[in-house]
Amino acid sequence: MKKSRSRNFWSNVAGTAAIEFAVLAVPFLGVTTSAFEAGRAVWTLEALQDSATQGARCIGVQSSPCYASGAYSAASVVAHIQKVASAWGVDVPSNAITATEETNCGNVAGFSAVRISYTFSSVAGKLIPALDRVPLSASSCFPHNS
């Protein structure tokens, strides 16, 4: 009698789909989450690059958002860059932004420059440690409008 029970147990196929799903669901969810988080990281990098470009251009053409009463204002530049990044859905802290009114770019003088250093934090950081606390940076130069 014991042999037939044992044989019936190992030959029974009821529930195999549930077991296969349980085995494959975890890796599939991990791959899917990784793909979404990598996409978010690329989106964030694009937002940072656009913000740096807009900030450097704002300084270079002496646009009103970056100049208070006709004079260069670093605080206004940072606020402008944060506004551009916020439109992308990215909150950049002011200490992550470095704006320079007069600098060299590629050994050529007469440029304004913006550099943003940002740490990307994944919403699934505990599940995917490689995507948690990833340093991202963007920089841009723009010639001065003299």
Place of tokens 């799903």: 21
C-alpha to C-alpha distance for 30 and 1, rounded to whole angstroms: 44
Output the tens digit of pLDDT for each of the chain's 146 residues. 455 666 666 666 777 888 888 889 988 988 888 888 889 999 999 999 999 999 999 999 998 899 888 889 999 999 999 999 999 999 999 999 999 999 999 899 999 999 999 999 888 777 777 777 889 999 999 998 76
Measured CA to CA in angstroms, residue 12 lies from 16, 19, 20, 22 at distances of: 9, 13, 15, 18
Other Cβ atoms less than 10 A from the Cβ of 114: the count is 27
pTM of the entire predicted model: 0.81
Say how far apart CA 6 and CA 8 lie, in whole Å.
Answer: 5
